[in-house]
A and B are shown apart, each in its own frame.
Chain A
């Protein structure tokens, strides 16, 4: 007798629909699973047998074949257990098979028949809706994630017994769930680092607020001990919270990697990989379905501390995501496109010893400086909108009043982002950093004085064409922060003062 059940497998960030076909025939007792199953799926044999026994059903002592269709898609993970077990029960006549056609079964089985939650619930719920299947049966622990998706019936079950009850037409178990909106988690969260803890560095703080407001890629440069890392860690605290669409994108990614379960992401991701990271670790593709840091930083911040210590190929690999907001990974037998729209925040010393521009302390030779600059220039500096210098001489008295607090800064950033979204959302863009040339011409309206400044910067060779676009984007953001619809001279002045150049060390000779 044949039975069919539906479930999903996850590869990278994509879900693939899997139909579990189970055939029970007379013959030598045996249980075979076919269809490119990885070890975790093949081990389902043992878990399914034990769970069926321990739930009070009989495991048929006949020849059982479970086929996972389509046969050419590799399946991974233990999340197919529940579907296999139910299909076995239906094929052996212990369960009516009709409801299996409309229900998606997603969960790992414990040996006693308990249903365990699996990673990637949100993605599976989305796929369930897209496949037109009405109901999703899963464990309670992650159910709140699935409930974020409208239009499907989410049924929580405690064990295999409850699942069969649902398939016989009964109801699921009412089990306690986390609230999904994250408000609860937000309230519980200990307060993170706050801008009010920073003394001095007012210029850098103002620049960071500009960077956060327009999601501009920023580079902090300064000698050791000036607070580059301290400021960068406070970046997360001034970013506006995620919109619902963004939150679902982030939750989907992080639920698949298992870093965030059972609730909607509330904070923007802040990823800070160590500089020993490889290109595959940063971008993804180390093995099939591996997701890199840039993808995990989607809709958030990727912080690269000690930028010059990163391997050159690693930094080169950042070009595509910085340019396109996505990564296309192609490996021997698979390819994938992942979203990766993040704000790059980097910190570096101005020279190998770290003290360039700090009186006589710098002992670096011109050759060392050139090498240091060459490491950074080209691939990255070209895509950096804001260059923020932190100086040692601006360290303030530790008792001085802080410039601002994170809450106040976040308010201004949120206001500026709203203005940007109102202007740009019809182009599918949310922030100024993503404006293309057409949008720049349309939305960056210069008054006569700022027009003259830009012209003179172009004519004096201070700005390249690309540099000019970056300055205009940043100027637009500064104007948004000031609540101005027109870009005025002081906005352009600020953007010019914060511009990044081909070389870190200003206009050193040659």
Chain B
């Protein structure tokens, strides 16, 4: 711990790290502009305070330098329930201590809990905000399986895959780790408030920027860099083939973390990005079992419960499940070859009640688990 640490009781962050956080919020506009070039942003965030000021302050440099010199803890916006922790504190996740990582975090849900979550094997489940129902269901089931096996699920809190990952972890009552793009109190859109509260009740939400800081793109990019460091394994569930949606995976790869991707249909644009990753050598993940194997090796705590349930199915239900998995996923398609409609609906409902099927968009049924035999 540095000599500067612990200068105020109750906070686990030192003044210099708090000042860094304050400075990032002040330079928000310039960073927002620059974050289009992700590589350059990474370099900039690795700079020391003075160099950063010199590089980005522009015309405000003199003003910012004087406020910087006179910085006090009270300059930061406070939020009840949020705690600060900096890299000089023992509770700070060790994965974030390398030079490019964030200097401090604002934590909702408690610093000690964050430490516990980050100490467990961590998987980042990331992907497109415009996910299809397939992606949502896969993210959910992978998160559910991983969380049930004691793995920490980490993700952002934007739309699509990220939300599904948290929802999956919450289904088994496990805490998950949410990396927020801006300040803890403003980064969360209103419709995510209830999810945010549920996440912070069992898990933890962290933000690099101080409370009250609003960002658009820069926060997301900075969040990716935190997420990639926190997780030993990054699973991309569904992503379009665009630099923005694949950035998290690229960053994790550059940091030497394991990157895995969930395949989709090759005809679907929504999975085009994950297919590119797979071609570039990312590991293929079909379900939580595969992710656990990547994380803990082949003899780790495998979660084969879903397959056990499948093996015990009556033959008619198993055939039905396989048909749905193969793409005959609506009652209309399933009865097209003259099968008894009542029997088909009964089997679909039975499988749904067993938790093996879920209803997706447009009346389609989705298998909730990958076919792994």
B345 CB contacts on chain A under 8 angstroms: 490, 493-494, 496-498
Q: Judge if A26 is at the interface, Cβ distance under 8 Å.
A: no
* Residue from the list A453, A482, A509 in contact with B350, Cβ < 8 A: A453
A361's nearest neighbour on chain B, judged by CB, is B269
Alpha-carbon gap, A200 to B136, bound state (A)? 30
A66 CB, min distance to chain B CBs, angstroms: 65
Asked if A64 CB lies within 8 Å of chain B CBs, one says no
Q: Mark B158-195, 1 if CB is under 8 A from A, else 0.
A: 01100110111000000000000000000000011011
Question: What residues on B are CB-neighbors of A489 within 8 Å?
Answer: 346
A365 adjacent to B130 (CB under 8 Å): yes
Q: Does A394 contact B (CB under 8 A)?
A: yes
Q: Is the CB of B353 within 8 A of A350?
A: no
A37, B152: Cα distance in complex, Å:
79
Contact partners of A357 in chain B: CB under 8 A: 133, 360-364
Per-position contact with B for A169-185: 1 when CB-CB < 8 Å, else 0?
Answer: 00000000000000000
Bitwise, B294-326 to A at CB < 8 A (1) or not (0) is 000000000000000000000000000000000
Contact assessment for A509 and B167 in the assembled complex, using a CB-CB cutoff below 8 Å: yes
Q: Which residues of B contact A276 (CB under 8 A)?
A: none
Which listed segment binds B: A231-239, A283-291, A454-462?
Answer: A454-462
Residue of B nearest to A471 (CB): B349
Whether A391 pairs with B159 at a CB distance below 8 angstroms is: no
Q: Which residues of A contact B346 (CB under 8 A)?
A: 489-490, 492-494
CA distance A496 to B344 in the complex (A): 12
- The answer to whether B343 touches A490 (Cβ under 8 A) is yes
- Contact in complex: B195, A389 (CB < 8 Å): no
Within 8 A of B (CB), among A260-314: none
Q: Is B355 an interface residue (CB 8 A)?
A: yes
A396 — nearest CB in chain B belongs to which residue? B336
List, in ascending order, chain A residues with CB within 8 A of B16's CB.
none
A505 nearest in chain B by CB position? B361
- Which residues on the B side are within 8 Å of A362 (C-beta)? 361
> For the complex, what is the distance from the CA of A239 to the CA of B124, rounded to whole Å?
55
Q: Is B331 interfacial (CB-CB < 8 Å)?
A: yes
A478 to B345, CA, bound (A): 12
B159 closest partner in A (C-beta): A366
Least CB distance, B314 to chain A, in whole angstroms:
13
Interface range for A: 35 or more
Interface size counted on chain B using CB atoms at 8 A: 46
Contact status A496-B362, CB under 8 Å: no
Residues from chain B with a CB closer than 8 A to the CB of A365 are: 129-130, 159
| Interface assignment of A201: CB less than 8 Å from any CB of chain B | yes
Interface string of A458-469 (1 = CB under 8 A from B): 001010000000
**Residue with the greatest number of chain A CB neighbours at <10 A, chosen from B352, B355, B361:** B361
Asked if residues B332 and A201 are in contact (CB atoms below 8 Å), the reply is yes
In the complex with contacts A203-B341, A496-B352, A359-B268 CB distance below 8 A? yes
Q: Are B191 and A370 in contact (CB under 8 A)?
A: yes
B residues near A505, Cβ cutoff 8 Å: 133, 360-361
* Residues of chain A within 8 A of B270, CB atoms compared: 360
Of A221, A394, A492, A498, the contact of B330 (CB 8 Å cutoff): A394
B6 proximal to A (CB < 8 A): no
Interface residues of A in 356-390 (CB under 8 A from B): 356-360, 362, 365-367, 370, 387-390
Residues of A near B347 (CB, < 8 A) are 493
Q: In chain B, what residue has the closest Cβ to A356?
A: B361
Q: Quick check: is B81 within 8 A (CB to CB) of the other chain?
A: no
> Which label, helix, strand, loop or mixed, suits the secondary structure of the B interface?
helix
Chain B CB within 8 A of A399 CB: no
Q: Check: A510 CB closer than 8 A to any chain B CB.
A: yes
The CA-CA distance from A367 to B332 in the complex, in Å, is 30
Q: Please give, as numbers and ranges, the residues of chain B lying within 8 Å of A509 by CB-CB distance.
A: 136, 139-140, 163-164, 166-168
- Closest chain B CB from A371 CB (angstroms): 10
Is the CB–CB distance between B349 and A391 below 8 Å? no
Q: Which residues of A contact B166 (CB under 8 A)?
A: 509-510
Q: Is B342 an interface residue (CB 8 A)?
A: yes
Residue of B nearest to A452 (CB): B353
> What is the distance, in angstroms, from B272's C-beta to the closest C-beta of chain A?
10
Which residues of B in the span 21-42 have a Cβ within 8 Å of any Cβ on A? none
Q: Which residues of A contact B269 (CB under 8 A)?
A: 360
Check if B195 sits within 8 Å of A223, measured CB to CB.
no
- Confirm or deny: B358 has a beta carbon within 8 angstroms of a beta carbon on chain A: yes
Residues 50-69 of chain A: 1 if any B CB is under 8 Å from the residue's CB, otherwise 0?
Answer: 00000000000000000000
Residues of B with C-beta under 8 A to A498: 345
Across the interface, do A203 and B331 meet the contact criterion of CB distance under 8 Å?
yes
Could you tell me the distance between the alpha carbons of A204 and B333 in the complex, rounded to whole angstroms?
12
Contacts A394-B336, A489-B346 known; A497 to B159 CB distance under 8 Å?
no
Task: Encode B219-260 as 1/0 by CB contact (under 8 A) with A.
Answer: 000000000000000000000000000000000000000000
Which residues on the A side are within 8 Å of B364 (C-beta)? 357, 389, 391
B115 at the interface (CB under 8 A from A): no
> A244 interface residue, CB < 8 Å from B?
no
Answer whether residue B348 sits at the interface, using C-beta atoms and an 8 A cutoff. yes
Q: Within 8 Å CB of B358, what residues of A?
A: 506-507
Assess whether A202 is in contact with B160, with CB atoms less than 8 Å apart.
Answer: no
What are 8 pairs between A and B in contact, CB < 8 Å? A221-B362, A360-B269, A366-B130, A453-B353, A462-B352, A492-B346, A493-B350, A507-B359
Q: A506-B133, A509-B166 are in contact. List 11 more A-B contacts (CB 8 A).
A: A201-B332, A223-B362, A350-B362, A358-B362, A390-B363, A393-B330, A393-B333, A493-B348, A497-B349, A508-B133, A510-B195
3 closest A-B pairs by beta carbon, nearest first, are A389-B363, A357-B362, A357-B361
